[in-house]
Amino acid sequence: MTHDRHSYAEPLLVRTTHLELDLELDFTAKVLTGTATHTLDWSGSNDRLVLDTRDLTVLAVEGEVVDGESADGWEPLEYSLAVPDKELGSALTIRTSRQSRVRVSYRTAPGATGLQWLEPSMTAGGVMPFMFSQSQAIHARSWVPLQDTPGVRFSYAAHVTAPPELMVLMSADNGTTSRRTGSYDVVMPEPIPSYLLAIAAGDLVFEPIGERAGIWAEPAMVGRAAQEFADTEEMMRVTEAMFGPYRWGRYDILVLPPSFPYGGMENPRMTFATPTVVIGDKSLVSLVAHELAHSWSGNLVTQDSWDDIWLNEGFTAYVENRIVEAVYGTEFAVMETAIKQHATVVKLDPLTPAELAVELPGLNHRSEYHGITALGPLKGSWFLTWLEERFSRDVFDPFIRGYFDRFAFRSINSDDFVSHLQEHLLDVHPGVVTAAELAAWLEEPGIPTFAERAASARFQVVDAARTEWLTSAELPAGAANWTTQEWLRFLDAAPDMLSPNQLQQLDRAFGLTGTANGEIARRWYQIVAASSYEPAYAELAAFLTEVGRMKLVLPVYRALAGSDRAFASEVFAKARPGYHPITTAAVQKILGQ
């Protein structure tokens, strides 16, 4: 196991194998209160258990009685809570008699970084409150004291009490009955890492979309989401055909309120998803393909520290693209890949060699994880696509399937993957790739010069139309019928700033201001902000206030910070109550607050 510098835990000495949670949700105080009971596997002769925490109030620590008598079978243990680190939180060190079970009673803080408590006005229904967690990357420690590292996997069971009008769900076996009792019991029998621990509570109902898949959402959203994500079961079938069985039982999707800071979170059995992809035309459902792909890459085979994030996200991006191709066709998949590659290349262009080595090192060189995962994962998926092209799918698909089978329910590092690659692909098929080519991906920074970029015929038409418009002001022919991906290409490769006349011309012709498509809106408002185009400011502000997904709002704030910081701060002040703590911190950093 790689030492995980993002955790205080010592899993080489002792590790949690099973976690039992008994939690009470208090929406008035905005806290969770309860107990976390760890079943432990000890190594060596140590008697110290170190858990990760962040802003938790520890009420008591007990160990299961080994010898002697106790009224309830538990005895108090000595413990200390270290001075908190800004990033890592506080180490909870417990002195034990090497008990097989240790129980921590605790309470979360109202501002726990891994939880968001929403007032009824911030939900679709507007009547009931809502709460959800976001544990990735190291936020599980803000609502459970645990070994918060992906190198430790554990099964878990939970008993949760909540107001009886609310439905509680977790990343576990929740069933499909939305019967509300105020008392809920769930079980996750497969071992998972801590960042996949998840909980949500709100006015939630269920609608099936297949034998193994369904939608949980607020009543106003569930029908629309079920239509948008109707292809989920087909996605599961094609992935199983390529890469092996789905091993998690059900695959349900919980559509959260707009404040959710990510597009999706791959919590096993219960993907948490943003409502910003539910737009009625399935043009953004690659997000579901991505989160489903995590059921193989990330959830099944997991990086053992955050410095090897490419193992999770690079493999997932590759599998996602294969799913999209199988369900929606080659051209759609090529366009999706080209969009991602373009964004990465643009980010790399201004970097010095030293910066490049930090931002996008070789895949086998671990670098500090800052929560921004766009570059390394893209390089990882690009590498896998390159291998597939060299070896052919007839050879490469069985190799990937064997990788998932070999490391199922394990946490590994880059060295483990490279050894597997060498033994099961390179040695079996010698001479297909050279040592220099392999080193360019694994050891050297950046994207290798010999890596071919995805080329879309439809994007060539879009690029020509953009060039013609910028030169002659002649509007792109047929643009009114462009797909989402074609509009993303048009805006992605447009100048960062446009003139008021150019912006007005596009807006009048195609109605970009106020679009319900979050991906188009992000790109449009980013140009609007950089160009100080005030006629669109009201809708831009509404967009930033209504949506909390970081991928969509942070680029717009960055553009505003460079053109109109005062307006950016004004919008943020209004939007902040609806943002997740993770989003709030990211915007504050951009605005220098």
Q: For 14-64, what is each residue's pLDDT tens digit?
A: 999 999 999 999 999 999 999 999 999 999 788 999 999 999 999 999 999
pLDDT reading at 458 higher than 90? yes
CA-based angle 311:406:393, to the nearest 5?
70
The verdict on whether residue 313 carries a ligand-binding annotation is yes
For the chain, what is the mean pLDDT?
Answer: 93
Contact of 337 with 320, CB cutoff 8 Å: no
The verdict on whether residue 550 carries a ligand-binding annotation is yes
pLDDT reading at 372 higher than 80? no
The verdict on whether residue 263 carries a ligand-binding annotation is yes
- What is the structure's pLDDT at 69? 65
The verdict on whether residue 18 carries a ligand-binding annotation is no
Pick one of 3.40.47.10, 2.60.40.1730, 2.40.30.10, 3.90.650.10 as the CATH number of 1-116+129-202: 2.60.40.1730
- What is the structure's pLDDT at 242? 97
Tokens of 348: 């790399």
What is the pTM assigned to this prediction?
0.93
The verdict on whether residue 135 carries a ligand-binding annotation is yes
Q: How far apart are CA 400 and CA 421, in angstroms?
A: 9
The verdict on whether residue 120 carries a ligand-binding annotation is no
Distances (CA, A) of 62 to 101, 143, 550: 9, 19, 40
pLDDT-derived band at 370 (thresholds 50, 70, 90) equals very low
Eight-class DSSP state of 584? H
What beta strand segments (E) does 241-345 contain?
A: 251-255, 264-265, 270-273, 301-303
Q: According to CATH, where is 2.60.40.1730 located in the chain?
A: 1-116+129-202
Contact of 560 with 567, CB cutoff 8 Å: yes
The verdict on whether residue 340 carries a ligand-binding annotation is no
Angle between helices 330-348 and 484-492 (to 10 degrees): 20
Cα dihedral 357, 410, 190, 171 in deg (nearest 10)? 0
pLDDT-derived band at 2 (thresholds 50, 70, 90) equals low
The verdict on whether residue 549 carries a ligand-binding annotation is yes
**Cβ contacts of residue 68 below 8 Å, gap of 6+?**
75
The verdict on whether residue 328 carries a ligand-binding annotation is no
The verdict on whether residue 294 carries a ligand-binding annotation is yes
pLDDT reading at 66 higher than 80? no
- What is the structure's pLDDT at 177? 85
Domain range 495-591, CATH architecture: Alpha Horseshoe (1.25)
Q: What is the pLDDT of residues 112-135, one digit of tens each?
A: 999 999 999 888 888 999 999 999
Fold of 301-442: Neutral Protease; domain 2 (1.10.390)
Mean pLDDT of 357-381: 73
Edge to edge, the sheet with strand 205-208 lists 205-208, 213-217, 251-255, 270-273, 264-265
> For the residues of 366-404, what is the DSSP string, one character each?
-----S--SHHHHHHHHHHHHHHHHH-HHHHHHHHHHHH
Mean pLDDT of 475-490: 93
Q: According to CATH, where is 1.25.40.320 located in the chain?
A: 495-591
Tokens 């991006």, residue located: 317
Mean pLDDT of 191-214: 97
The verdict on whether residue 261 carries a ligand-binding annotation is yes
The verdict on whether residue 290 carries a ligand-binding annotation is yes
The verdict on whether residue 170 carries a ligand-binding annotation is no
Q: According to CATH, where is 1.10.390.10 located in the chain?
A: 301-442
* Rg, Å, the chain Cα set: 24
pLDDT reading at 268 higher than 90? yes
